[in-house]
Amino acid sequence: MALTTKGTAHLYGIVGGVAIVTNATVISWSLNSSNKNVAETANEIGNEIERRYDDLHQEGTLTIRPRSGFTALVPGANYTYNSVAFEIISEGREEQNQGFVTLTYAIKKSEYVSYA
pLDDT at residue 8 is higher than 80: no
Question: Which of 104, 110, 92 minimizes the C-alpha distance to 33?
Answer: 110
The answer to whether the beta carbons of residues 102 and 93 sit under 8 Å apart is yes
pLDDT digits (tens, 9 = 90+) for 83-97: 788 899 999 998 888
* Domain map (residue ranges) of the chain: 17-110
Rounded CA gap, 65 and 10, in Å?
9
pLDDT at residue 45 is higher than 90: yes
Share of the chain above pLDDT 90, in %: 29
pLDDT digits (tens, 9 = 90+) for 21-33: 778 888 888 999 9
pLDDT at residue 103 is higher than 60: yes
* Strand 78-81 relative to strand 48-66, pairing: unpaired
Question: Which of 103, 109, 99 minimizes the C-alpha distance to 79?
Answer: 109
pTM: 0.71
pLDDT at residue 46 is higher than 70: yes
Share of the chain above pLDDT 70, in %: 82
